[in-house]
Structure 1
Amino acid sequence: MKLITAIIKPFKLDEVREALSDIGIQGMTVTEVKGFGRQKGHTELYRGAEYTVDFLPKLRLEMAVSDHMVEQAIENLCSAAHTGKIGDGKIFVTPIEQVIRIRTGEYGESAL
């Protein structure tokens, strides 16, 4: 089992959710976050004054997937979140040692 964590642009959420549900990923956690990478923020104009926005709004998606679904999930996530512009985001894949469904007590992949 793997934990896929993706940082994406907020307006891409619906496309990403649909692309992942198409391959059978049933659940994910979405968190509103702020940050920057190579993009390093941008400048905006407000009431005639220019100011710098250092931390840009992003979404952090987390989903636990079976090993056999990881590659397809990454492919679908990349294609749905891609705009071709700087700031599209990142995907991190980490191993999961154990999953337990609290309600039923199921362990492992059956708990996903």
Structure 2
Amino acid sequence: MAIVEVEKVIIVEGRSDKRKVESIISEPVEIICTNGTLGTAKLDELIDALYDKEVYILVDSDEAGEKLRRQLRREFPHAEHLYIDKMYREVAAAPKHHIAVVLLSANIDVHAQYL
């Protein structure tokens, strides 16, 4: 069996966000959970590990999520930022259909049942 090198990485805040996104995508994508904050050591580790990957940022539409987004924007200027509608506030609270549309707009394959 061949080992598949994952080229796409989605950075989310919490485990519930990660589980929700995992259930929607239909291609090999690494999902990294920040648990809301990133220390300097963890951030340096991520920068090195994600140097040649397609990085997507999908965080909550709240104050903590925006603070994390600003930090990630500085460290990953090449990353594509994905946004959920502000009315849902949290990735975990957004309907799967909405998240699927957001991911599909970034050319991330999703299960057809969520469209």
TM-score, length basis structure 1: 0.29
The structure with the greater share of residues assigned to helix is: 2
The structure with the greater share of residues assigned to strand is: 1
TM-score, length basis structure 2: 0.29
Determine which structure has more spread, i.e. the larger CA radius of gyration: 1
| Greater RCO (Cα-Cα under 8 Å, separation 6 or more) | 1
